[in-house]
Amino acid sequence: MSEPPPWRIRLEQPGDAASIEALAAMVFGPGRYAKSAYRLREGVDPDPRLGFVAADSASQALLGSVRFWPITVGGETSLLLGPLAVQPGLRGRGIGIALMQHGIDAAKACGYATVLLVGDEPYYARVGFARLPPSRVRFPGPVNVTRVLGLSLVSGALLSLSGAVTRARIDHPVSAQAAALGKI
């Protein structure tokens, strides 16, 4: 029998926010706020049921994290996967895939039908993402169309998804968690 990995995936807790932000700052740098994906996150909470962290089984140190943001596409509710980040020294051990798979399974259980992201197709194809036809969806800013990927959580759901990608719940109050991250 193979050994279990020396880390486990668990739901993100409020106390993880500072470590998650520190990892994102290290991995993505300050340029992350200029990306189209961040415009969709500004002022909107990630779905708290879909934030997962990988924690070292012994020290409980944070090894990686993933979050999902609700968005709308042509008026339909969808999800945006990301940020996904793993500590640089611990990559290639399956942590990224495990985080995403946990999130995808949870998103399905929560009733979401589709997930979008902007990223490298060869990597995300490992959990089922595929490139969307060009101009099927329009992000609020420049994106490389070859990096716009989607996943159906309900059979065929992506086929009917099209239009402008916008922030969900734009009038939703900015959360205490965002305040803790220093965004407001």
Ligand X SMILES: CC(C)(COP(=O)(O)OP(=O)(O)OC[C@H]1O[C@@H](n2cnc3c(N)ncnc32)[C@H](O)[C@@H]1OP(=O)(O)O)[C@@H](O)C(=O)NCCC(=O)NCCS
Q: Are 76 and 161 in contact (CB under 8 A)?
A: yes
Contacts with 132 (C-beta within 8 Å, 6 or more apart), sequence order: 116, 148, 149, 150, 158
Distance CA 138, CA 16 (A): 32
Q: Which of 46, 70, 83, 103 binds ligand X (CB under 6 A)?
A: 83
Q: In this complex, which beta carbon is closest to ligand X, that of residue 82 or of residue 103?
A: 82
> Applying CB under 6 A, does 115 fall inside the site for ligand X?
no
Distance CA 104, CA 115 (A): 8
- What is the nearest approach in angstroms of ligand X to the Cβ of residue 98? 7
Q: Which of 13, 18, 33, 120 binds ligand X (CB under 6 A)?
A: 120
Q: Which of 43, 48, 74, 119 binds ligand X (CB under 6 A)?
A: 119
Handedness of CA 127, 151, 157, 102 (dihedral sign): positive
| Closest residue to ligand X, based on beta-carbon distance | 96
- What is the nearest approach in angstroms of ligand X to the Cβ of residue 18? 18
